[in-house]
């Protein structure tokens, strides 16, 4: 597609529910990133994929967070047993290269845990 | 890890005014981008500028990599320029993009 596509745009979950957030990167982009943005803050790194390999997951806040990119294209960020502190905007970005090319962001998924 | 500091944190301008936003970083970088996050949350690429100077309409940016800073110039500001401006860098040899805390700009009509 022309840009990075994320779905759903908004998600409301009750505390304890599992959620799955989808990212469809720009076709041919090798690198894919997930970021978490709390209200009034800058985006915080969660995890990075180079093709299907998850090279860095150091930013995932807990073992309730899991990300995958099985075929090196679409990625899913899954949050199990959601907590109120998980409420944030989850941003996906892709780039054609690895560290030396610009990031292109999707519109994000706004997750609200009630 | 690399630290990214942006200043000022908040800025209020009258429409038509000019401004300069600054980004300081603590280590060498091979990638630097400026983004504008609009009031709807969309992050828009402004410049990919690891070094040198670029211009796009009323906006321009300069990165002096050897001195570890970058500047974003906004001339003849418009109300649609309101939002948050982020500087984001990748450490030399790395791949992780680290964001500053942003400059929140409000342009009054």
Model confidence pLDDT, tens digit, residues B32-66 = 999 999 888 899 999 999 999 999 999 999 999 99
Give the distance from residue A107's alpha carbon to the nearest chain B alpha carbon, in angstroms.
Answer: 5
Distance in angstroms (rounded) separating the CA atoms of residues A5 and B64? 34
Identify the residue among B7, B29, B97 best suited for mutation to test binding to A, counting A beta carbons within 10 A and taking the highest: B97
Give the distance from residue B109's alpha carbon to the nearest chain A alpha carbon, in angstroms.
Answer: 24
Structure tokens, B81: 């320029």
Give the distance from residue A14's alpha carbon to the nearest chain B alpha carbon, in angstroms.
Answer: 23
Counting residues of chain B whose pLDDT is more than 70, the rounded percentage is 100
What is the average pLDDT across B17-28? 97
Distance in angstroms (rounded) separating the CA atoms of residues A39 and A58? 21
CA atoms lying within 13 Å on the CB side of residue B107 = 19
Please check the confidence at residue A1 and state whether its pLDDT lies above 70.
no
How do residues A59-114 score in pLDDT, each as one tens digit? 999 999 999 999 999 999 999 999 999 999 999 999 998 877 899 999 999 999 99
Average pLDDT, chain A: 95
Does the beta carbon of B2 lie under 8 angstroms from any beta carbon of chain A?
Answer: no
Please check the confidence at residue A17 and state whether its pLDDT lies above 60.
yes
* Residues in a beta bridge with A32: A49, A94
- Max CA-CA distance within chain A? 40
Contacts of B57 (CB under 8 A, 6+ apart): none
Tally the residues of chain A. Answer: 114
Exposed/middle/buried for B3, CB within 10 Å: 0-12, 13-18, 19+? Answer: exposed
Chain A residues close to B90, C-beta within 8 Å: 99-100
Helix (H, G, I), strand (E, B) or coil at A52: coil
């Amino acid at each position: 597609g022309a840009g990075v596509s994320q779905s759903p745009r908004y998600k409301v979950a009750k505390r304890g529910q599992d959620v799955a957030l989808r990212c469809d990167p720009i076709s041919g982009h090798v690198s894919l990133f997930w970021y978490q943005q709390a209200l009034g803050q800058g985006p915080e790194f969660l995890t990075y994929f180079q093709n299907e390999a998850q090279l860095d997951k150091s930013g995932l806040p807990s073992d309730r967070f899991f990300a995958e990119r099985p075929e090196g294209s679409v990625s899913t960020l899954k949050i199990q047993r959601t907590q109120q502190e998980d409420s944030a905007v989850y941003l996906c970005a892709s780039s054609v290269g690895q560290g030396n090319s610009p990031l292109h962001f999707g519109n994000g998924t706004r997750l609200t845990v009630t | 890890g690399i630290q990214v500091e942006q200043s000022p944190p908040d800025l209020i301008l009258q429409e038509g005014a000019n401004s300069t936003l600054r980004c300081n970083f603590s280590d060498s970088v091979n990638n630097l981008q400026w983004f504008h996050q609009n009031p709807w949350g969309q992050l828009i690429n402004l410049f990919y500028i690891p070094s040198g100077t670029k211009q796009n309409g009323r906006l321009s940016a300069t990165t002096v990599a050897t001195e570890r800073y970058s500047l974003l110039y906004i001339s003849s500001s418009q109300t649609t320029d309101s939002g948050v401006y982020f500087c984001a860098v990748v450490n030399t040899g790395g791949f992780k993009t680290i964001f500053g805390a942003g400059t929140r700009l409000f342009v009054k009509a």
